[in-house]
Structure 1
Amino acid sequence: MQLFVVTLVLTVVIFAECVVTKQPNIVFFLADDLGWNDVGFHGSQQVKTPFIDSLAKSGIILNNYYTASMCTPSRASLMSGRYPFRVGLQNFVIDSGERKGIPLEFKLMPEYLNKLGYESHMVGKWHLGSFQKNYTPTYRGFESFYGYYYGSNDYYDHQRTVYTDDGSHQLWWGLDWHLDINQKMSNVYSDFGNYSSHAFADRACNLIKNHDFDSKPIFMYVAFQNVHTASFMDNLQVPRESEDLFPNIWHKWRRKYLGMVYELDLAIEKIFKSLQSKGILDNTIIIFSSDNGGAVDGFGDNWADNFPLRASKSYYYEGGVRSSAFVWGNLFKNRSGQIAQNLMHITDWLPTLVDFAGGNSTELSTNDIDGISMSKILTNQSAPSPRDELPLNINSMTDLKAIRYKNFKYLLNPNDFGDESYSGWYKAPGTYPDRNETMEPDTMPAQIWCGDIPKGIDFSCYSVITGLNECLYDIENDPCEYNNLVDNPNYLDVKQMLLEKLEKWEKLALPPQNPPFDQSGDPKMQGYIWQPWTDNPDLPNYPCSTKKHEPLKI
């Protein structure tokens, strides 16, 4: 009998040690230009995001989470795990006629995950290079891509119509809607009239329906168009029934914007239900993030709400770079319903997901990535916070520098346009032309509230001592960036410490990609299709190699 018991115990122990945790499916939702206060879980009284809020509140809300201030730099950091100035994409976005992209020597997120046995698919907006085919999604690790290559598009006819920024002010237009599978590239003409978030949700649901989850896990990156502007001809586009849900908002464009946020919520719910019907939710990680803060008060013809955070998209004040984000899934059940205040950056997703996928992020050297794995802190609240330093960006073309260390943040020339036009605080339009949205303090646990905007304070980012456009904030105690401490004698040592840290990072920065305008990028030369226009993968006047990297061992 004793022998039997010992044998049974040993059998159980051996069996337990041999059980391999099944790799989780990973679904990453990226919103475009979503304002900090454009989700219910941050306290907005205007928006309708019931499903996003339900996921956020039952997952972990990431309330100290940062991105870059614009589309391309943020997406480059997400996919590469490197700061934007470490891939040469720190200056503005990839625009028409520009031969720019993440250098081919850098490995991207789907390639890491594929090495671990995943099948990777992308749906939505790319905006990381398409002048040559090797820069497009299916040549960077995704098995399939359905969506558009550039930064903006019509939500219904999927045409991109822009004036060029080269000084000639040419009107370029054409279809930017593609289905690329296993590096076979094709253009899609049959989706005319299909609202983009509907089309993206349908594509994601079909991928889920047809995937064999018993053979391998899936990584699905869904980068929505909502709530970016469409074009200068029709800025904000939404089905009428969704706009009509906000009759109490007097401002036409704010109503449309709110309808677009609601459509985002519906699309995410539809994809979630597809995962549910497949029976795989118990083994799925869901991540939600915006790519940057919202474009406020008509900036870029958009009407987001970052209040009470300061400024707009494209600025390195909190409103431009502190973004809405959360994680959801059984993997985080020990922290379900919590609000994480740990400092986190969009680069951190790559090593974090490598860990969750069964890899070992510690084997990724700083030569490979800048991100820091958050896997321990997301699954165990008592784990030490792994990040206390965050160089947000360094851009030698505009002399922009931004860094956060612990609770302090230093900014020099803190925007991508060289002026302070949208550097204040902007409440969204409310029920009447003379009444903006009201905010009630302490309505949501994740809400930031700094009280009324102080009167009689100089809000400029300027130092009398140096004559430079620089500012220093104690973000933990002043998240709304009311009080510039840059000339305060009590904080001169803090400023010096941050400047020394920036100097270290400047030595590691690549120069901003700044190629000459290429007329060959005009889509009319490609049959009025926005697609690769050259066979030459070289990044003009750039020191990076265009040789494809060797597979990285994990």
Structure 2
Amino acid sequence: MNKPLIAAVAVSCLICSFVAAAEPPADDRPNVVLIMTDDQGWGDLSASGNQNLKTPHIDSLKRDGVSLEYFYVCPVCSPTRAELLTGRYHPRGNVYDTSEGAERLDLDEHTLGESFQAAGYRSGAFGKWHNGSQPPYHPNDRGFNEFYGFCSGHWGHYFSPPLERNGKMVRGDGYVTDDFTSEAIKFIEDNRDRPFVCYLPYCTPHAPMQVPDEYFDRFKDKKLTMRHRDPQKEKDLFTKAALAMCENIDFNVGRVLKTLEQLDLSGNTIVVYLSDNGPNSYRWNGGMKGRKASTDEGGVRVPLFIRWDDRLPAGRSINEIASAIDLFPTLADLAGVEILAEKPLDGVSLAPLLRSDQPDWPERLVYSHWAGKVSVRSQHYRLDDRGRLFDMRNDFGQRNNIADQEPEQATRLKVAAEKWRTEVLTEIDRTPRPFTVGYRDTTWLPARDATPHGHVRRSNRWPNSSYMTDWTSPKDRIVWNVDVINSGTYEATLFYTCPESQLGSVVTLTDGKSRTSAEVTEAFDPALIGHKEDRFPRKNTYHKDFRPLRMGELKLSRGETKLTLQAEQVANTSVMDMRYLKLVKKQAD
């Protein structure tokens, strides 16, 4: 359940030992490189048998490491990230959606980054975070010394977009996957002489379907020889763009592996590769049922490769089922890092499976959840969210419901699913949580975290990379529910666009007690970006740049309040488009 912010932060500081691993000698502690892709299906690799593309560098991780053949994540982005970071099922951390605050990981959840950081590791995250934006939900406050990327879910543009570095807005440098990799490589180079954790969560092949010409040109005229199980559902152009993005990912994985080799770090670096959910379209996925957002096999089964030269056997395939909740305890065990957590983990260390051909490994169940739907996977069966039972050894496509033929198994898994619902799903608290202000000197409040009232609306039904538009009336309001952590005077800045013809409106920001106003006097009306780079028509909002408008100072008192942005005067037919509100603490009370 949600807890008051200060209490939650205090709990996270008063952590105690829950799991302890035998620590190897300090000079032999392995590095960790954890690579996770976004919306890449199990079938989007040549290592999985897909002849439509070539992924030699990723395939080498399977060849030179250990492959978990039946590895499961969540059906969508932010829940998988929460499970990977905490070793606990995502509802326990109150991550139940992908935007508008429901993607934030509760502050009393302990993360992988925090345990490794406490053990003396340098930690960095480069890419898509998606578990909270404002401090103390920000990655710099959750165990990562360095962060470069974006904290939201989907992003509007992949070529030199606005990103952030440790809380400061910056301009990206080139294609995002290349850029994130370059930053990760620099981090590895800078920390070559000390143990490090490099978390590299890419945002591709998630939409928008943008990829450099070099990769798309390989596919645009190519005949797809392997198709989705229902080929009439497949959109060839989308598939080609996704596969081109996967080949770009492969190129960048190769860059990381080459860096480790050149720095003589390969032998003492654990490299992990996985995706966060099933494919984001109907394309070849080994004949499995389901895609992204589905709790069926194809929506939650992803590749998982772990390479640790000379420490883990090359080429081993493991058939025991495993899950994202297992990665934190596994990496801590392999590295000899003590897990600092107040709450018990749902995951278990997979080290015995990785190291032994015949481990003493008990039967277990893995649960998949999204939007109230729960599916249960045993080693042999899957019970879907409608209570149908499938023999996953002989019917991995889930075509034949055998619940009537196997009533004992169906009943066993139904009871397990109901128990999981009762014990885990009930931990979700959908009470709206305010967005934190003033935990650090600078707080960014994006349009996605505000609630529009009146005619004003977001630019897209998916909020994450949206902006506020159609602001036409003094009755229109943009409201942020916030929790001010530290009282004081804050300088407020809006990021806006406005054409020359609409200049002159006066906007006001208030918490009901203090207020500040500014007139829109300078035009800034850039074109939307992304049309020409898109390989497939998008459903997300298009991107454009925004410029700052200094609003002035606002005196805010500690506690929960509402920040309301309104037009005191509308000069013509519209006020502005608005992307961000930035608050900088100038003076504390």
TM-score, with structure 1 as normaliser: 0.70
Post-superposition CA distance 1:212-234 (Å, at most 9, x none): 42xx300000001111002xxxx
Conservation of the 8 A alpha-carbon contact between 1:48 and 1:258: no
| Alignment partner, residue 109 of structure 2 | 106
Post-superposition CA distance 1:460-502 (Å, at most 9, x none): xxxxxxxxx331112122222121123x1x3222122112222
Equivalent runs, 1:97-246 vs 2, <5 Å: 97-98=100-101, 100-130=103-133, 132-157=134-159, 175=162, 177-180=163-166, 185-189=167-171, 191=172, 194-213=174-193, 216-230=194-208, 236-246=209-219
Alpha-carbon RMSD across the aligned residues, in angstroms, is: 2.8
Instruction: Tell me, in whole angstroms, the C-alpha distance in 2 between the residues paired with 1:19 and 1:103.
Output: 34
| Alignment partner, residue 38 of structure 2 | 32
CA gap of 1:526–1:292, structure 2 versus 1, over 3 A, is: farther
CA drift of 1:142 comes to 0.2
From 291, 297, 322, the equivalent of 1:344 is 322
| Alignment partner, residue 256 of structure 1 | 241
CA gap of 1:61–1:536, structure 2 versus 1, over 3 A, is: farther
Conservation of the 8 A alpha-carbon contact between 1:26 and 1:219: yes
- Structure number with the higher strand fraction is 2
Instruction: Tell me, in whole angstroms, the C-alpha distance in 2 between the residues paired with 1:314 and 1:108.
Output: 25
Instruction: Tell me, in whole angstroms, the C-alpha distance in 1 between the residues paired with 2:204 and 2:354.
Output: 27
Post-superposition CA distance 1:190-211 (Å, at most 9, x none): x26x100110111011111111
Instruction: Tell me, in whole angstroms, the C-alpha distance in 2 between the residues paired with 1:539 and 1:77.
Output: 31
CA gap of 1:400–1:371, structure 2 versus 1, over 3 A, is: same
From 399, 424, 428, the equivalent of 1:512 is 428
1:306 paired to 2:261: no
Q: Which amino acid letter does the alignment assign opposite residue 390 of structure 1?
A: V
| Alignment partner, residue 9 of structure 1 | none
1:473 paired to 2:479: no
From 410, 422, 430, the equivalent of 2:383 is 410
Instruction: Tell me, in whole angstroms, the C-alpha distance in 2 between the residues paired with 1:125 and 1:151.
Output: 7
CA drift of 1:506 comes to 2.6
CA drift of 1:260 comes to 0.6
Conservation of the 8 A alpha-carbon contact between 2:84 and 2:328: yes
Unaligned runs of 5+ in 1: 1-16, 160-174, 231-235, 298-303, 413-468, 541-554
CA gap of 1:21–1:188, structure 2 versus 1, over 3 A, is: closer
Instruction: Tell me, in whole angstroms, the C-alpha distance in 2 between the residues paired with 1:55 and 1:104.
Output: 34
1:527 paired to 2:531: no
Instruction: Tell me, in whole angstroms, the C-alpha distance in 1 between the residues paired with 2:257 and 2:412.
Output: 46
CA gap of 1:364–1:178, structure 2 versus 1, over 3 A, is: closer
Conservation of the 8 A alpha-carbon contact between 2:86 and 2:111: yes
Q: Which amino acid letter does the alignment assign opposite residue 383 of structure 1?
A: P
Conservation of the 8 A alpha-carbon contact between 2:38 and 2:275: yes
Conservation of the 8 A alpha-carbon contact between 2:79 and 2:103: no
CA drift of 1:253 comes to 2.8
Instruction: Tell me, in whole angstroms, the C-alpha distance in 2 between the residues paired with 1:536 and 1:330.
Output: 52
- The 3-state SS of whatever aligns with 1:330 is coil
Instruction: Tell me, in whole angstroms, the C-alpha distance in 1 between the residues paired with 2:325 and 2:250.
Output: 25
| Alignment partner, residue 382 of structure 1 | 358
Instruction: Tell me, in whole angstroms, the C-alpha distance in 2 between the residues paired with 1:40 and 1:276.
Output: 23
1:500 paired to 2:415: yes
Equivalent runs, 1:62-77 vs 2, <5 Å: 62-77=68-83
Instruction: Tell me, in whole angstroms, the C-alpha distance in 2 between the residues paired with 1:290 and 1:18.
Output: 29
Post-superposition CA distance 1:341-365 (Å, at most 9, x none): 111101101111111121356x968
CA gap of 1:359–1:284, structure 2 versus 1, over 3 A, is: same
Instruction: Tell me, in whole angstroms, the C-alpha distance in 1 between the residues paired with 2:24 and 2:382.
Output: 48
From 247, 252, 259, the equivalent of 1:274 is 259
Q: Which amino acid letter does the alignment assign opposite residue 357 of structure 1?
A: A
Q: Which amino acid letter does the alignment assign opposite residue 190 of structure 2?
A: N
CA drift of 1:122 comes to 0.3
Instruction: Tell me, in whole angstroms, the C-alpha distance in 2 between the residues paired with 1:266 and 1:18.
Output: 33
Instruction: Tell me, in whole angstroms, the C-alpha distance in 2 between the residues paired with 1:68 and 1:364.
Output: 22
From 320, 327, 338, the equivalent of 2:299 is 320
Taking every aligned residue pair, what percent have the same amino acid on both sides?
A: 27
CA gap of 1:407–1:364, structure 2 versus 1, over 3 A, is: farther
Post-superposition CA distance 1:488-540 (Å, at most 9, x none): 1x32221221122223323322443535574289766752699xxx9989899
Conservation of the 8 A alpha-carbon contact between 2:24 and 2:336: no
Q: Which amino acid letter does the alignment assign opposite residue 389 of structure 2?
A: L
Instruction: Tell me, in whole angstroms, the C-alpha distance in 2 between the residues paired with 1:284 and 1:527.
Output: 42
Instruction: Tell me, in whole angstroms, the C-alpha distance in 1 between the residues paired with 2:346 and 2:127.
Output: 25
Conservation of the 8 A alpha-carbon contact between 1:208 and 1:278: no
Instruction: Tell me, in whole angstroms, the C-alpha distance in 1 between the residues paired with 2:390 and 2:37.
Output: 28
Instruction: Tell me, in whole angstroms, the C-alpha distance in 1 between the residues paired with 2:214 and 2:360.
Output: 47
1:53 paired to 2:53: no
Q: Which amino acid letter does the alignment assign opposite residue 122 of structure 1?
A: A
| Alignment partner, residue 373 of structure 2 | 400
CA drift of 1:154 comes to 3.6
1:79 paired to 2:59: no
Equivalent runs, 1:429-448 vs 2, <5 Å: none
Q: Which amino acid letter does the alignment assign opposite residue 165 of structure 2?
A: L
Instruction: Tell me, in whole angstroms, the C-alpha distance in 2 between the residues paired with 1:287 and 1:99.
Output: 27
Instruction: Tell me, in whole angstroms, the C-alpha distance in 1 between the residues paired with 2:157 and 2:215.
Output: 14
Unaligned runs of 5+ in 2: 1-22, 225-235, 433-448, 453-462, 469-492, 497-544, 547-555, 563-589
| Alignment partner, residue 233 of structure 1 | none
- The 3-state SS of whatever aligns with 1:479 is coil
CA gap of 1:504–1:470, structure 2 versus 1, over 3 A, is: closer
Instruction: Tell me, in whole angstroms, the C-alpha distance in 1 between the residues paired with 2:450 and 2:47.
Output: 44
CA gap of 1:119–1:523, structure 2 versus 1, over 3 A, is: farther
- The 3-state SS of whatever aligns with 1:480 is coil
Conservation of the 8 A alpha-carbon contact between 1:308 and 1:480: yes
Flag the structure with more relative contact order, 1 or 2, with Cα contacts below 8 A and sequence separation at least 6: 1
CA gap of 1:370–1:18, structure 2 versus 1, over 3 A, is: closer
| Alignment partner, residue 44 of structure 1 | 50
Conservation of the 8 A alpha-carbon contact between 1:36 and 1:305: no
CA gap of 1:123–1:482, structure 2 versus 1, over 3 A, is: same
TM-score, with structure 2 as normaliser: 0.66
Instruction: Tell me, in whole angstroms, the C-alpha distance in 1 between the residues paired with 2:222 and 2:561.
Output: 50
- The 3-state SS of whatever aligns with 2:168 is coil
Conservation of the 8 A alpha-carbon contact between 1:146 and 1:178: yes
